[in-house]
Structure 1
Amino acid sequence: MSRRIAVTGLGAVSALGATAAANWQAVREGRCGITLHRFDGGPYAPEPVIIPAALAPEGFSAAAEARLGRKILGSVDRFAQLAVCAAYEALESAGLVDHEALAERTGVVLGHGQGGQETLEKSYERYFGLRSQRMHPATVPKIMVSGAVSAVAMQFGIHGPVFATSSACASSAHAIIQGAGLIHTGLADVAVVGGSEAIATPGCMSGWQAVQALAAQTCRPFSKDRDGMAMAEGGAVLVLEDYAHAEARGAEILGEFLGGGMSSDAGHITQPSLAGTSAAMARAARAAGLLDDEQVLISAHGTGTPLNDRNEAASIHAVFGERARSHPVIATKSAHGHLIGGSAALQAVIALHALREGAAPPVLNFNAPDPECDIDLVVGQLRPITARRALVNAFAFGGLNASLAFAA
């Protein structure tokens, strides 16, 4: 990449906390945000179900409204509220809130798997359950996937390129790559990138149950007895900035985005392909020059599903060969659950903290090694690392793969 890209701001909201620092502190201490929740769809739905999930902290939206006001936050779906909260923290940490530099030379690219699911389900209850033809006038704007990027742009007065990406579990990884591309091509000096999701709703959880992808109790990535993922909600945002631009304004540089790799399996809608996932990783590793590093921190997609984890372990071996077991692997969905569109961005925030502190957080809920997942998994406790660079993986349904490379 001809223009170096700095990371100057980080923000996050998840079941682990309402700030990036709180999320990092939770994973480094081995705290889990996944608990059993009762999902009740109301009088027109089947019986309530109890499913493991990781939900955002109570009162996060009220606290955000107290800081930012109701003008924007009061008119958007929960997934957009999460994005605005994470963006505010990221821009504040970058020293760019209310900064004139935001106006014309800043872009926003956020990724989401579905959009306003909470609004959608409430509108369906009103229409099909109550048989009411009168919908809330904000129904469509709340549901649309681009509602969050519009909210962020309006909240912070951003007039540059603004758009959403939607590629299931790879959405925020694709958003980060596209935001970096805006800077690389000179279309922006600053890019607010990341993603959010709020699909832990009764109807959507029933859909995920039908896919048979959800765990019975909790998420156990790479553990021999793993049985599925734990759905989560939350959001994470990074501020990417032209390196020279950041230096010129005296910004603290938290890390550097080194490049990304993308691929498509063009195969099965839910089953991953070794060729596809390893291609995305290899392209990111080559772009960042990581293939010969003594140690690289790998933030695994690590959903806790039998097939995905086995395929990802094989991909690590396919990309790094004899060096595969030299690279520590973390799987933070065991702590914060699977944010779908927001997962890669939250993993990136955590990976940058890990690199800066020189410590890899442990994989939680791990009971026994799987011989088919022969990787250097960080389990038990926080582990010191020497890695200064990291790969963050995001492998989505539909065979849509992305891998991100960072340095700190």
Structure 2
Amino acid sequence: MAATITASAVRTCFGDGPATWDALRRGECGVALLRRVDPRRVGVAHGYPIADDRPFGPGRWLADCVTEALAAAGVDPRRRRVVSLVGTGLRESAEVERAALAGAVDFPAERLHFGPAVAGAAPGVGPVVTLANACSAGGHALALAQDLVETGEADAVLVGGADGSSASMLAMIGRVAARPTGRVRPFDTDRTGVLLGDGAVVLVVEADRPGAGLARLLGTGLSCDAGHETAPDRHGILRAVHDAYRRADRRPEQVDLVLAHGTGTALNDETEAGVLAEVFAGCEPGPLVTALKGAVGHTSGGSALLSVAVAIEALRTGLVPPVVGLSRPTPEAAGLRLVRDRAVAAAPRVAQVDAFGFGGLNAVTLLETT
């Protein structure tokens, strides 16, 4: 069975959903100097920040998206059975760091999660569950949401993803980079690594209503290979891909567009490009491939849902935004139909969205036009 995505709301370094889509189709890059941390302490000077330095930023961005998405879908949690699943990698860990610097030792654990933020924006919402599943968390939340509406456990699900930069995560990036990264360049020969982006996304998922809503959610394939703390595993990713096609009852030759994970790192780009080449071998001409992180940075737990939201716009408008920062494709990606330099007019009907997280937490989603 499929489900229907009936609304979408987005916050990125570019602004809300329409502002983000406009920037993406123009090929803009939102990279900027970081203001919330001392670059000398973390070894990272750039990111893709939202210009909002107030405390508990991810929760507030998420709440804004919840309000917007509910209004767009016409869903009232006080009148229908609505639950919420929020994917994240870092949760509100930046606030724990801020509290520790101020000498606080009793940070309330519930403020790490997004239950209060969602419940405050959506009175009457049922359980709010935060999934800290690294960079594919939003994809895992989307898979569970489809299960809930298909089985009748919920009338609608608010599927969210939210993350903001934390000093600890920035420091980890700074330590592993061979040299400082000035911008993310997915699948580019001269890529130097990943940078974080602030963001929040909320999708409303309801039971399948062919011809209605924004897009059909065909299925999400999952895998957890736990092969390495950070390195992607080709076989684990392929399991998620094949699981997605099985659940969606679709074949690779039916896919017109891929929103790649595309982190701009040596291991991820090489592995993902190889997987895509294998999956679409023999498909002529093969799907168009794009990726978002060169424009908005790595939005961690929200990155899967942001790619889904952009895939929906591409399916609806027939326009595919370019891979920002891509000048010279790597040898592994040279055979892919990467969208470069400018947006491409197309007529995609089925899109694949890749999301791969630390520890082999992989999620691959297939969408279709309504």
From 74, 77, 102, the counterpart of 1:95: 74
For the Cα contact (< 8 Å) 1:16–1:22, is it kept in 2?
A: yes
1:114 equivalent in alignment to 2:90: yes
For the Cα contact (< 8 Å) 1:39–1:50, is it kept in 2?
A: no
Residue 5 of structure 2 is matched in structure 1 by 7
1:234 equivalent in alignment to 2:183: no
1:253 equivalent in alignment to 2:213: yes
Question: Equivalents in 1 of 2:207, 2:179: separation in Å?
Answer: 40
Q: 1:264 to 1:346 in 2, by over 3 A?
A: same
From 171, 178, 181, the counterpart of 2:144: 178
For the Cα contact (< 8 Å) 1:278–1:318, is it kept in 2?
A: no
Displacement of 1:287 in angstroms is: 2.2
Question: Equivalents in 2 of 1:276, 1:325: separation in Å?
Answer: 26
From 222, 236, 241, the counterpart of 1:262: 222
Question: Equivalents in 1 of 2:183, 2:65: separation in Å?
Answer: 25
AA matched with 1:233: D
What SS does the aligned partner of 1:187 have? Answer: coil
1:193 equivalent in alignment to 2:159: yes
Q: 1:116 to 1:324 in 2, by over 3 A?
A: farther
Residue 347 of structure 1 is matched in structure 2 by 307
Unaligned runs of 5+ in 1: 62-75
Residue 174 of structure 2 is matched in structure 1 by 209
Structure 1 residues 252-306: Cα deviation after superposition (integer angstroms, max 9, x where no partner): 5111110010012231111111111122112212322331545421000000001
**What RMSD in Å do the two structures reach over aligned CA positions?**
2.3
Residue 30 of structure 1 is matched in structure 2 by 27
Structure 1 residues 94-130: Cα deviation after superposition (integer angstroms, max 9, x where no partner): 122x56434xx11100101121122111111122xxx
Displacement of 1:217 in angstroms is: 0.9
Looking at CA atoms only, which structure, 1 or 2, has the larger radius of gyration? 1
Displacement of 1:39 in angstroms is: 4.9
1:311-326 matches, cutoff 5 A: 311-323=271-283, 326=286
What SS does the aligned partner of 2:301 have? Answer: helix
Q: 1:214 to 1:229 in 2, by over 3 A?
A: farther
1:272 equivalent in alignment to 2:232: yes
Question: Equivalents in 2 of 1:279, 1:203: separation in Å?
Answer: 31
For the Cα contact (< 8 Å) 1:193–1:238, is it kept in 2?
A: yes
Structure 1 residues 211-237: Cα deviation after superposition (integer angstroms, max 9, x where no partner): 338861100000111111111111001
Question: Equivalents in 2 of 1:350, 1:381: separation in Å?
Answer: 16
AA matched with 2:228: H
AA matched with 1:9: A
Residue 81 of structure 1 is matched in structure 2 by 60
Question: Equivalents in 2 of 1:151, 1:242: separation in Å?
Answer: 25
Question: Equivalents in 2 of 1:150, 1:327: separation in Å?
Answer: 41
Residue 376 of structure 1 is matched in structure 2 by 337
1:320-339 matches, cutoff 5 A: 320-323=280-283, 326-339=286-299
Q: Percent identity?
A: 32
What SS does the aligned partner of 2:240 have? Answer: helix
Structure 1 residues 126-178: Cα deviation after superposition (integer angstroms, max 9, x where no partner): 22xxxx66x5xx64332x2xx21342124212343431211100111101111
Structure 1 length-normalised TM = 0.84
From 110, 124, 128, the counterpart of 1:158: 124
From 399, 402, 406, the counterpart of 2:360: 399
1:367 equivalent in alignment to 2:327: yes
Deviates most, 348-357 or 311-320 = 311-320
AA matched with 1:82: W
Structure 2 length-normalised TM = 0.92
Unaligned runs of 5+ in 2: none
Q: 1:324 to 1:57 in 2, by over 3 A?
A: farther
What SS does the aligned partner of 1:316 have? Answer: helix
Displacement of 1:48 in angstroms is: 7.2
Structure 1 residues 319-365: Cα deviation after superposition (integer angstroms, max 9, x where no partner): 22211751100101111110100111111101100110011100011
AA matched with 1:305: T
